[in-house]
Amino acid sequence: MLKEIWSIIRHYFRRLDKSLLLLCAAALVFGCTALYSETAAEFLTKRKFTTQVFCAGVGVCALLFLSAVSYRFLAKLWFLHLPATLGLVLLTFVGPSSIVYRPDGSDDAAWLRFGSLSLQPSELLKFSFILTFALHLSKVREDIDRPGNILLLCLHGAFPCLLIFLQGDMGSALVFFFIFVCMIFVSGISYRYVFLGLGALAVGAPVLWYSGLIPDYLKNRFLVLGDLENASLKEAYQQLVGRRILGSGRIFGKGLFSDDLAHVFALENDLILAHIGQTLGFVGCAAVILLLTAICVKILLVARASKDALGCYICTGVFAMLLFQVIINMGMVLCVLPVIGITLPFFSQGGTSLITTCLSVGLCMSVSAYNRPSRS
Domain regions of the chain by residue span:
17-369
Higher pLDDT, 93 or 60: 60
- The pLDDT value given to residue 376: 41
Higher pLDDT, 113 or 46: 46
Which among 330, 165, 107, 169 is positioned nearest to 239, based on CA atoms? 330
Which among 220, 111, 130 is positioned nearest to 169, based on CA atoms? 111
- The pLDDT value given to residue 235: 65
Residue 239: pLDDT band (50, 70, 90) is: confident
3-state secondary structure of 366: helix
The percent of residues above 70 in pLDDT, for the chain, comes to 93
The yes-or-no verdict on residue 327 having pLDDT over 90 is yes
Give the CA radius of gyration of the chain: 21
Count of alpha carbons within 13 Å of 186, Cβ hemisphere only? 23
Question: Among 31-40, 70-79, 233-242, 269-278, which is the least confidently predicted range?
Answer: 233-242
- The pLDDT value given to residue 134: 96
- 125, 359 in Cβ contact below 8 A? no
- The pLDDT value given to residue 123: 92
- The pLDDT value given to residue 222: 79
Cα–Cα distance between 354 and 343 in angstroms, integer? 9
- 314, 79 in Cβ contact below 8 A? no
Kindly state the helix (H) or strand (E) to which residue 22 belongs, with its residue range: helix 18-40
The predicted model gives 296-301 an average pLDDT of: 96
Contacts of 102 (CB under 8 A, 6+ apart): 108, 109, 110, 111
The predicted model gives 90-108 an average pLDDT of: 77
Cα-Cα end-to-end distance for the chain: 18
The predicted model gives 224-239 an average pLDDT of: 68
The yes-or-no verdict on residue 11 having pLDDT over 90 is no
Count of alpha carbons within 13 Å of 109, Cβ hemisphere only? 13
DSSP 56-111: HHHHHHHHHHHHTS-HHHHHHTHHHHHHHHHHHHHHHHHS-TTTEE--TT-SS--E
Cα–Cα distance between 328 and 172 in angstroms, integer? 11
| 104 alpha-carbon distance from chain centroid | 21
Residue 107: pLDDT band (50, 70, 90) is: low
The percent of residues above 90 in pLDDT, for the chain, comes to 59
Question: Among 22-26, 259-263, 356-360, which is the least confidently predicted range?
Answer: 259-263
Burial category of 193 from C-beta neighbours within 10 Å (exposed 0-12, middle 13-18, buried 19 and up): middle
Which among 167, 180, 93 is positioned nearest to 129, based on CA atoms? 180
Higher pLDDT, 99 or 152: 152
- The pLDDT value given to residue 374: 55
The yes-or-no verdict on residue 171 having pLDDT over 60 is yes
Question: Among 63-77, 135-149, 191-205, 315-329, which is the least confidently predicted range?
Answer: 191-205
The yes-or-no verdict on residue 91 having pLDDT over 50 is yes
Residue 106: pLDDT band (50, 70, 90) is: low
- The pLDDT value given to residue 265: 87
* Full-model pTM: 0.93
Q: To the nearest whole number, what is the mean pLDDT of the chain?
A: 89
Residue 335: pLDDT band (50, 70, 90) is: confident
Question: Among 192-196, 315-319, 369-373, which is the least confidently predicted range?
Answer: 369-373
Which among 373, 170, 303, 331 is positioned nearest to 242, based on CA atoms? 331
* 3-state percent helix, strand, coil for the chain, nearest multiple of 5: 70, 0, 25
